[in-house]
Structures are given as structure tokens and as C-alpha cells.
Amino acid sequence: MKKIIATVGPSLLHTTPLNEVHNDRNIYRINGAHGGVDDIEKYIQEIRSQVSNAAILMDLPGNKVRTSNFEYGYIDIKENKEFDIAFNQTNYKDFYKHLNVGDEIWANDSIFRFNVININKEESKITFLSHSTGRLLNNKGMHVRGIHQDIPFLFEKDLELIKLANKHKLDYVGLSFVRNADDILEAKELINESKIISKVETLSAVENLNDILEIVDYILIDRGDLSTEIGLEKVPSYQKYIIEKALFYNKKVFLATQFLKTMEFNMLPTIAETIDLYNTLKSGIYGIQMSEETAVGKYPKECLETISTMMNEIKLERNGDHL
């Protein structure tokens, strides 16, 4: 049976309780990037209070550098204008050590683009030139291509969340920003019973895919973060390559990012989304992940019903009963 990873949040779990959508194919994902450790433990407890035998995935935030500590929760940026971010306004205080003047930053899933103008150690701040206009919120990614190899694999919050996964004997732990097999082995030393889902979202992970597939049973292709590494235009060919390689190794593959993006605000998917969903589910993958669609979207129940209906349609087609 194919699986659906459904991210819980203000929408699914709180506004829409799990008993309205629960199915044995569902895995309920907690995004460890959002909220403190105590808040995340409350999510675990709330999931189990609603569905006692629920399969739960703890998705570690990983070593993604994120904005934090903005006084009002955000800063406004303008195209061709400079702005500052203090060293303590990211979740990795040594971020500045990996930067050079001229480096290009892609932020908020590549919506914003900046260049490093200055690194002021005396005033503990980085000055950027923005090529975008908008509002940069707390907890948004700050991606610089080519520096990931030098950043620790597990940040402090990852270590705390692994302890939480062990305490509550969660079904799955998702490893974010894996670069090579050594990263997975490092995490395996700390994880007790949870199955590991190794996310493929860095160029290094793609380059080391054979070694990674030797030691895990599950991978998840996060197309959003991968796109910031390789460029949007390369995502389709990379996705095809990763799936084919994983299936050759007889591994289970999940796919994530924007399958039903319009259903965050609309009750029905577009025709293009429907066709892509059909083709994706027929590509040999084990399951797909809903992120914003269920965590904060207006129609989490309809999203899950859309996927289940499509899975059933494909099953009927396979049996020759769909027409």
C-alpha cells in the first residue's frame, strides 16, 4: 500500500482533527523546524490522543541555516537596497564564517536572492544587497551553494529531537540535508528504534547516492530544497535519476514539495496538478508528502481525499476496472 505523509500543524490536527481523515496509509509528519522542543512533544502527544496507533515521522530540521530572532518576526527587504542580519539572527551563529563577500544567498525556498556585501565581525552583522522585494520572516532558509560540506551535520536541535523520537518510540525519523553515508551513520548511532528516511535534497547526496542507498531502506526527494542546489530546470531529470537508482536498489521512495500547492487555498487541484500526481504515483514511488497543503492549508481533508482517490483509481486501472 502506498503511503501519504501528511504534515500536521494549525490546520491538520487542530482545525481538522485526525479522526476526520485517518487512514492506515497515513504517516503524520512533525516538521521539527517549527516550534521549540516542548512544543513538538505536545504535537506527539496530541497526535496520539487523537489516533493512538498513528504512524509518526519526526522530520529533523537539519543543518539548514534559518533566520531567527527578528524583533517583529520579520524584516522588510527591497530590491537594490542593503539590509543587515546580525550573527545571532540565524540558528547557526557561525554562519558568517562560511561566507565571503560576493556570495549569493537564496532565501525562503529561492523566492529571495541576496549578495553578501560585508561581514562585520566587530559589530557581529552581515550586510546583504537584496535583489528582491518582500518580507523575510523568521525561520526561513538561507541557502548558499557550495558551503554545506563544512557545516556540522546535526545541529543542537536535531540532537534534542532525536532524544524525543527515542523517548516516544516514533516510527520514523527524517534526516535532512544528508550529504553522504557518514552523515547517516552518525545519526544511526543516536537513533534507537525509528526507521530512518534519508532525504535527498543536496547535490552531495545525489553524488553519493549509491553509498547512501546501501545503508537505508527509505529515501525522500525534497524537490524544494534540491532545486536551490541544482536549479529548477534540472529538478525533473534529477528526480527521474534518483527514483530509478533507488528502485534498482529496491528501496522505498517518497517525493515531496508542491504536489497540490493550489489546494492550500482552493478546494480542487488544477488539471496540471492532477495529471502530475497521476504520473508521479505510477512512477514506482512508495508515497508522497503533503507539507503546507495539510499543515497550514485551508483544505487538508480534501487534499488527502484527492490523493487517496487517485491511488484507488490507479489500483482499479491496474486491475482493468477503471473504465
- CATH no. for residue 22? 3.20.20.60
What is the pLDDT at residue 323? 53
Q: Clarify whether residues 179 and 280 are in a common domain.
A: yes
pTM of the model: 0.87
Q: Clarify whether residues 281 and 307 are in a common domain.
A: yes
Q: Clarify whether residues 36 and 144 are in a common domain.
A: no
What is the pLDDT at residue 1? 78
Phi first, then psi: give them for residue 113, nearest 5 degrees. Answer: -135, 135
Q: Clarify whether residues 84 and 193 are in a common domain.
A: no
Q: Clarify whether residues 145 and 249 are in a common domain.
A: no
**Of 149, 182, 216, which marks where a domain is finished?**
149
282 band by pLDDT with thresholds 50, 70 and 90: very high
220 in a domain, yes or no? yes
Q: Clarify whether residues 245 and 283 are in a common domain.
A: yes
Q: Clarify whether residues 191 and 44 are in a common domain.
A: yes
What is the pLDDT at residue 194? 98
Q: 10 Å Cβ neighbour count for 39?
A: 10
Is pLDDT of 261 > 70?
A: yes
**Cα(250)–Cα(202) distance, integer angstroms:** 21
Mean per-residue pLDDT, 30-39: 93
**Of 149, 175, 201, which marks where a domain is finished?**
149
145 band by pLDDT with thresholds 50, 70 and 90: confident
Q: Clarify whether residues 25 and 99 are in a common domain.
A: no
Cβ atoms of 66 and 141 within 8 Å: the answer is: yes
Q: Clarify whether residues 235 and 261 are in a common domain.
A: yes
68 in a domain, yes or no? no
Helix, strand, coil tally for the chain in percent (to 5):
40, 25, 35
CA 92 from centre of chain: 18
Q: Tell me: the pLDDT tens digits for 175-187?
A: 999 999 999 999 9
304 in a domain, yes or no? yes
Is pLDDT of 72 > 80?
A: yes
What is the pLDDT at residue 299? 96
What is the pLDDT at residue 146? 74
**Of 117, 149, 181, which marks where a domain is finished?**
149
What is the pLDDT at residue 40? 96
Mean per-residue pLDDT, 30-35: 92
Sign of the dihedral defined by the CA atoms of residues 247, 286, 229, 64, in that order: negative
217 in a domain, yes or no? yes
Distances (CA, A) of 322 to 25, 83, 249, 313, 319: 21, 57, 31, 7, 8
**Cα(231)–Cα(248) distance, integer angstroms:** 26
50 in a domain, yes or no? yes
Q: Clarify whether residues 54 and 91 are in a common domain.
A: no
Is pLDDT of 139 > 80?
A: yes
123 band by pLDDT with thresholds 50, 70 and 90: very high
What is the pLDDT at residue 236? 93
Instruction: Write the CATH number for 128.
Output: 2.40.33.10
Average model confidence (pLDDT) for the chain?
93
69 in a domain, yes or no? no
Question: Three-state SS for 22?
Answer: coil
94 in a domain, yes or no? yes
Q: Clarify whether residues 157 and 262 are in a common domain.
A: yes
Mean per-residue pLDDT, 206-225: 96
Cβ atoms of 122 and 86 within 8 Å: the answer is: no
What is the pLDDT at residue 224? 86
Cβ atoms of 36 and 321 within 8 Å: the answer is: no
Phi first, then psi: give them for residue 48, nearest 5 degrees. Answer: -75, -25
Of the listed ranges 98-112, 174-188, 245-259, the one predicted with least confidence: 98-112
**Cα(267)–Cα(252) distance, integer angstroms:** 30
320 band by pLDDT with thresholds 50, 70 and 90: low
What is the pLDDT at residue 217? 97
Number of domains making up the chain = 2
| Residue length of the chain | 323
Mean per-residue pLDDT, 9-28: 96
Task: Return the beta strands (E) in 60-133 as ranges.
Answer: 74-77, 82-86, 104-107, 112-120, 125-130
Give the helix/strand (H/E) hosting 164: helix 156-168
156-168 helix and 37-50 helix, angle to the nearest 10 degrees: 30
Q: Clarify whether residues 163 and 228 are in a common domain.
A: yes
230 in a domain, yes or no? yes
Q: What range defines the domain where residue 117 resides?
A: 74-149
pLDDT above 90 coverage of the chain, percent: 81
